[in-house]
Amino acid sequence: EAQVTQNPRYLITVTGKKLTVTCSQNMNHEYMSWYRQDPGLGLRQIYYSMNVEVTDKGDVPEGYKVSRKEKRNFPLILESPSPNQTSLYFCASSSQRRGGEQYFGPGTRLTVT
């Protein structure tokens, strides 16, 4: 089954404790992206990747890191999480580098206390 998976689905952590949210897709997509969703603000793009070893900043990259060492995986790293990073995070992938239909993961709800 074609899908985007994210782990963990729920995470409660404390300020400053490094964490990684994994994202994996099995569709051989080149384009992958991370979004955060906050009430009243819709989805905002954090980082995206056009292909292996190619990543770029989205609208709200501060406080986040990503890597793309393999085509299928695109982890999101929070080196020192802060309470304002409490949010619902989505990973997505697309077969097209620009403007294609995106397939979304189920989301990761992160709470930073």
Site for other proteins contains 40 (CB under 8 A): yes
Rule CB under 8 A: is residue 90 a binding residue for other proteins?
Answer: yes
Which of 68, 75, 80 lies closest to 18 in space, CA to CA? 80
Q: Is 58 in the site for other proteins (CB under 8 A)?
A: yes
How far from 60 is each of 2, 56, 106, CA to CA, in Å?
A: 28, 11, 21
Measured from the CB atom, the residue of 64 and 90 that comes closer to other proteins is 90
The answer to whether residue 102 forms part of the interface with other proteins (CB under 8 A) is yes
Stretch of residues binding other proteins (CB under 8 A), selected from 13-21, 35-43, 65-73, 74-82 = 35-43
Q: What values do phi and psi take at 100, rounded to 5?
A: -90, 170
Nearer to other proteins by C-beta: 9 or 18? 9
Cβ–Cβ < 8 Å for 38, 87: yes
Interatomic CA distance for residues 26 and 1, integer angstroms: 8
- Encode burial over 45-57: b for 16+ CB neighbours within 10 A, e otherwise: bbbbbeeeeebee
63 near other proteins, rule: CB under 8 A: no
When asked if residue 62 is in the footprint of other proteins (CB under 8 A), the reply is no
Binding residues vs other proteins (CB under 8 A): 4, 31, 33, 35, 40-45, 48, 50, 56, 58-59, 88, 90, 92, 97-99, 101-107, 109
